[in-house]
Chains A and B, each alone.
Chain A
Amino acid sequence: MKIGVVVFPGSNCDRDMYHVLTDVFHLDTQYFWHDKGLPKNIDAVILPGGFSYGDRLRAGVIAAHSPVINDVRRLAAKGIPILGVCNGFQILVEAGLLPGVLLKNTSLNFMCEWTNLVVENNQTPFTNQFELGQKIPIPIANGEGRYYVDEATLEKLKKHNQIVFRYTDSVNGSSYNIAGVCNEDFNIVGMMPHPERAVESEINPIDNKPSSLIFKSLLHTIGVEN
């Protein structure tokens, strides 16, 4: 079993993600530089947060043209679980692998704070250990985190159960308070909040168990017991 953490120039949450996957969940994890290919036998791919290419032009758009994205696309088509967190989510939408777009927060601020999520879809590889409606205290850290879709697309997302997480409050002006979505096959998930910053009690003063379920769901999906 192997998990890949993709590293772009400007990624800065890659080590946190690697730490959580290896030290907390004991997964065989490997970094993959963005201009290298991904192996065929990989079990899941995570695009971590950061500021790929310094957010030049628009957050995520330049990284979306990286060679590794072709492999992510190929693996995703085979049903391999893909998770994009924060900038990773921005990259997935700019690559067209997830619907919608992430705009500047309504406040115009870089927002670094604790939020509360509600699980809206517990059938993805990253949410299958949650109860529907379960709450997750989790931090956000972004400047362009306002998820936007037009009304027609929003209805389509609702119909196909593609809304994975919603904020309990209007945090940043996101359409329908959306914090995370998935593709129609449920195997590609993108979320703005940072689960890798919330799974250890030392750095989560509220409750680290709900965020842990994101990774435990992945363990369940790929058949690892720990």
Chain B
Amino acid sequence: MGTYDVHVTIENKPGISDPEGDTILNDLILKGTHSTITKIKAAKMLKFTIKEKDKKTAQKKIQEICDELRIYNPMVSKITIDVFDA
């Protein structure tokens, strides 16, 4: 059994508008001198800590939880799951 930190990033799918990211880009970043930035996407991250036998099982379990409890809405959002040793 190991303890893992699992980061779940929830963001809008491509094609779904992200007014928060657009506002940060257009009204903050690009109004300064940071003209090399071309895109910002706002996302939400949930950090889970989980005890499982290995990293792969931890990732699978978190994916199942996110699907079952609609942690993200699959119509408009996608998730990225990253697993780290705690």
What residues of chain A have their CB less than 8 Å away from a CB belonging to chain B?
57-58, 61, 64-65, 94, 100-101, 103-108, 148-150, 173
Contacts and interface: CB of A to CB of B under 8 A. Distances in A.
A61 B70 contact: yes
B23 A103 contact: no
A65 B76 CA distance: 19
B75 to A, nearest CB: 5
Contact of B75 (A64, A108, A150): A150
Interface in B36-86: 69-71, 73, 75-76
Nearest to A57: B71
Contacts of B70: 61, 64, 94
14 contacts: A61-B70, A61-B73, A65-B69, A94-B73, A101-B73, A101-B76, A103-B16, A105-B19, A106-B17, A107-B19, A108-B19, A108-B20, A148-B76, A149-B75
A107 B22 CA distance: 11
Nearest to A94: B70
B74 to A, nearest CB: 10
A105 B20 CA distance: 10
Nearest to A149: B75
Contacts of A173: 17, 19
Given A64-B70, A65-B69, A94-B70, A101 B75 contact: yes
Contacts, number: 30
A103 B76 contact: yes
Interface in B4-32: 16-17, 19-20, 23
Contacts of A65: 69
Given A107-B19, A148-B16, 6 more contacts: A64-B70, A100-B75, A105-B19, A106-B19, A148-B76, A173-B19
Interface residues of B, number: 11
Nearest to A107: B19
Contact of B20 (A58, A104, A149): A104
Contacts of B23: 108
A97 to B, nearest CB: 13
A148 B71 CA distance: 18
Contacts of B76: 101, 103, 148
Contacts of B69: 65
Contacts of B73: 58, 61, 94, 101
A104 B80 CA distance: 21
A105 B23 CA distance: 13
A149 B70 CA distance: 17
A149 B73 CA distance: 12
A200 B29 CA distance: 47
Contacts of A107: 19
Nearest to B76: A101
Contacts of A149: 75
A149 B16 CA distance: 10
